[in-house]
Structure 1
């Protein structure tokens, strides 16, 4: 089966060179899954696809520093360059010095900037191949002056300390939509503790804000980087909460909540994708107690009113600042 992703097509030309390939941060691609021994990724969907084919699958936070996982390593260059630099530093910490690494990516995703970044890190490089608007570079791990942990950013907002990582939504700043959402629910939050689900928790701002007000928070995200960021944010503020890797409701079978609160994503890398938001809205009633509320914020142009109408029969616009809208829907008491 020919590979779908252009970067995988470029790798397919080198396939005779790979015996026990480990891929880092890859797309889901059937040829690649079949070709590789294992994957390290921050994306729960990717890990699940590799596991389903009986392959090894780890997040970078599952591996102890220096724990071996592979000698043939290909890094797929991410859209967020700071995340790419983090992966390079992490690989240098994780693997013995001098371990060969290949880096592949699409030209529109910024792979052409990689040689400059490798030079800045003191990593040697050469170009191995170039086709299908993709490039493949070869380098090797070196001992670095700075650690991958230096990529974490801590900043203050709304009386909270947030921890953020490259590749996590809104890295290093507070999203305007999230602020509008919190502002719009501040006065309607009951005093009694609610069981609240923060869907797509990112750096944990919504979870921490709710936990600070005494609510019992479960936070989920499909990104292992976001899960780690949210855990660090809760810890930095001395707050309690349960944080899970989950593709929408996949880790919450049968659980119900008083409120579900979300600033759902609508991008997957460079593509617009409404899939997760559609699943969130359509399945929300099953995961709400009677009288429970779904509250979400979205860019004003997104087609959520129709989805909310179908799932709940009724919804309200709680706030609208022209760029973002906050919607609220209540599950009927029946």
Structure 2
């Protein structure tokens, strides 16, 4: 039985309630992609490409980006609806931006689960807005708070967002510096699974000529795999669903001399079929706040479509993910290449006929 997302239900109740003036919905990773038709006078900003495409198809007025929001004028919205994100600096950034974007007497509506920190974020927001805390419990551990902007400027300190809107050069354990930022998976460290994959990649591929053709970094994040691959004589494509990841990966490849192209896609769905000699992937296995095997299957399905008939895909996953069992539905040749007790490396070859997208 699918878990009911009571927090998202609250989001939709607010959006479908008639309101005077303009409403802005800040839609983050915790939003399902099968959202219904849009109500009038609601603008959406989202940082997920799959959600952006889905919302557009459903008729929403939607912008894809990294929540910088600087293209929106001060005091331009009467209401802002936001279910809090997982990343604390991003939540602080969006609360600060909401204060700027709201008209006088406009309202910021915060929604979230107690385990996600909604109570703390609501208290901080009330302090920033300099208004009494108005909150209510709606179901189980889901809470909603409403914050009215009663004055135009704040003489209190802004919430610490760690300069979320800016990419920053971050020094990592390997002595290298990468452009990255909060909100990107592993933004302060090299993922050990990705490092394992890069270390073993020549042996996984076997025929190094495959690292001289067209190569796809599927789910590129800030671009660690892409950066390491860019030293080979390849035609590199890097793709991700997350706007912040795309910005960081692009900046990192520019720093190497404009190596490759960085494009948005939903698990590679917008890329051409049979286009790549090699696909490397450290797939995400979380969708919003929960683990999603469906997401893993989407990555496998698209990899089978994207790979050339004689190509090879090299995946790394956490040891507890049974990728090899899922992969046999999409590839004739599935091999466990290595297992270091924490991560597994798998090679996938001979794609089966493409299935309908999951």
Pairwise TM-score range, normalised by the shorter structure:
0.7 to 0.9
Contact 1:105 1:111 in 2 (8 A): yes
C-alpha separation in 1, matches of 2:219 and 2:124: 31
Query: Is 1:264 aligned with 2:283?
Result: yes
C-alpha separation in 2, matches of 1:117 and 1:238: 43
What does 1:75-154 align with in structure 2 at a 5 Å threshold? Answer: 75-91=82-98, 100-118=107-125, 122-125=128-131, 126-132=133-139, 133-138=142-147, 140=149, 142=153, 147-150=163-166, 152=168, 154=170
1:211 Cα deviation (Å)?
0.9
Task: Go from structure 1 to structure 2 and tell me whether the alpha carbon gap of 1:13 and 1:194 turns closer, same or farther (over 3 Å shift).
Answer: closer
1:91 Cα deviation (Å)?
4.1
Task: Go from structure 1 to structure 2 and tell me whether the alpha carbon gap of 1:319 and 1:41 turns closer, same or farther (over 3 Å shift).
Answer: same
What does 1:105-254 align with in structure 2 at a 5 Å threshold? Answer: 105-118=112-125, 122-125=128-131, 126-132=133-139, 133-138=142-147, 140=149, 142=153, 147-150=163-166, 152=168, 154-156=170-172, 158=174, 160-187=176-203, 188=206, 190=208, 193-254=212-273
One of 340, 349, 353 as aligned partner of 1:321? 340
Q: Larger deviation: 127-136 or 245-254?
A: 127-136
- SS of 1:115 mapped into structure 2: helix
C-alpha separation in 2, matches of 1:154 and 1:96: 37
Contact 1:227 1:244 in 2 (8 A): yes
One of 42, 60, 63 as aligned partner of 1:37? 42
1:246 Cα deviation (Å)?
0.7
Task: Go from structure 1 to structure 2 and tell me whether the alpha carbon gap of 1:43 and 1:321 turns closer, same or farther (over 3 Å shift).
Answer: same
Match of 2:51 in 1: 46
- SS of 2:134 mapped into structure 1: strand
Q: Larger deviation: 122-131 or 37-46?
A: 122-131
- SS of 1:174 mapped into structure 2: coil
C-alpha separation in 2, matches of 1:307 and 1:44: 25
C-alpha separation in 2, matches of 1:43 and 1:137: 26
Give the RMSD, CA atoms, in angstroms.
3.1
1:30 Cα deviation (Å)?
4.1
Contact 2:332 2:349 in 1 (8 A): no
- SS of 2:329 mapped into structure 1: helix
1:104 Cα deviation (Å)?
1.8
Task: Go from structure 1 to structure 2 and tell me whether the alpha carbon gap of 1:246 and 1:150 turns closer, same or farther (over 3 Å shift).
Answer: closer
The gaps in structure 2 that reach 5 residues or longer are 352-358
Task: Go from structure 1 to structure 2 and tell me whether the alpha carbon gap of 1:62 and 1:248 turns closer, same or farther (over 3 Å shift).
Answer: same
C-alpha separation in 2, matches of 1:112 and 1:279: 35
Q: Larger deviation: 317-326 or 31-40?
A: 31-40
Q: Larger deviation: 263-272 or 141-150?
A: 141-150
Contact 1:208 1:239 in 2 (8 A): no
1:155 Cα deviation (Å)?
2.7
One of 298, 301, 306 as aligned partner of 2:320? 301
- SS of 1:253 mapped into structure 2: coil
Contact 1:195 1:258 in 2 (8 A): yes
- SS of 2:122 mapped into structure 1: helix
